[in-house]
Amino acid sequence: MEIIEQIDESCEHRHHENSGKDMYPIEGIASRIHDGALVCSASKHITGDLEKIRGYLENELGLLDTWVEDQEGITGHIKAIIGVNGPLYRISATAGEVETKNLEIKNIHISIVAVVFKVDQGVLERRIESLIERLSA
């Protein structure tokens, strides 16, 4: 529950004005300083194979932690949340016929929060932005 609160706090200024209707923060990246720590959060909606995305994130968060240490920084914590909506269906109508097809993909929302010390904000944002953009590649 703590991580969800941090994502909500970190992304609060990026929400749409009627965000009460939105289940997740809008896509993007935001940072702020909190109690001396740099808190960087990122959010992205994608479609794909859940297990591949989970494996990718497990690997990348470990690499991000190592990268922070390589920058002579300190990791407070780096966490990700994966939310899944599915199944997805495509319904199409042509020439009086309606066809419904179950799509094998999932609609996935990824949120990442990194709480670190002694790391440059712009550098961390670019690193996390690169990580999250590769999810949809």
pTM over 0.85: no
- Confidence at residue 19, expressed as pLDDT on a 0 to 100 scale: 38
- Confidence at residue 4, expressed as pLDDT on a 0 to 100 scale: 42
Which domains are present in the chain? 2-136 (3.30.70)
What is residue 16's DSSP assignment? -
Query: Is 6 within 8 Å of 76 (Cβ atoms)?
Result: no
- Confidence at residue 25, expressed as pLDDT on a 0 to 100 scale: 58
In this prediction, the residues of the chain whose per-residue pLDDT falls under 50 are 1-4, 6-8, 10-23
- Confidence at residue 112, expressed as pLDDT on a 0 to 100 scale: 95
Tell me the CA end-to-end span of the chain in Å, nearest whole number. 30
Query: Is 25 within 8 Å of 95 (Cβ atoms)?
Result: no
- Confidence at residue 6, expressed as pLDDT on a 0 to 100 scale: 46
∠24-28-29 over CA atoms, to 5°? 110
d(CA 110, CA 27): 9
- Confidence at residue 32, expressed as pLDDT on a 0 to 100 scale: 95
- Confidence at residue 107, expressed as pLDDT on a 0 to 100 scale: 85
